[in-house]
Homo-oligomer: A and B are copies of this chain.
């Protein structure tokens, strides 16, 4: 879909996404120190501001917490946070399901639709 020069996902989002994966998969554990902005920038051959922006994204998602003069750390409330996320997702799904029911879609259609997509996800 995209290639070369203009791979239209911003660099800072890719970094954020990668680090998010590492956190979710337990590669980076709660309370653990993240690589420092400068170091990661050097390593990835990027401007520190770009890395900073990635970290800001993760901080907005409460996955990490920055502490000036010390470093950046994976949140210690990770499990709680994930529970919250899961509940939120279920809530959204419930709302949309409600909508579908009102629009005349059957329960089976909904379940099948989800099941079919699940494997491809």
Contacts and interface: CB of A to CB of B under 8 A. Distances in A.
Interface size class of A (residues with CB under 8 A): 35 or more
Interface string A58-90: 001000000000000000100110110110011
Copies of this chain: 4
Given A85-B99, A101-B118, A109-B3, A9 B93 contact: no
Nearest to A106: B2
Given A60-B60, A115-B111, A100 B80 contact: no
Interface string A12-46: 01000000010010000000000000000000000
B118 A107 contact: yes
Please name the 7 residue pairs, one residue from A and one from B, whose CB atoms are nearest each other, closest first.
Answer: A5-B113, A89-B96, A5-B109, A10-B79, A98-B121, A94-B117, A92-B96
Interface of A: 1-5, 7-10, 13, 21, 24, 60, 76, 79-80, 82-83, 85-86, 89-90, 92-94, 96-107, 109-118, 121
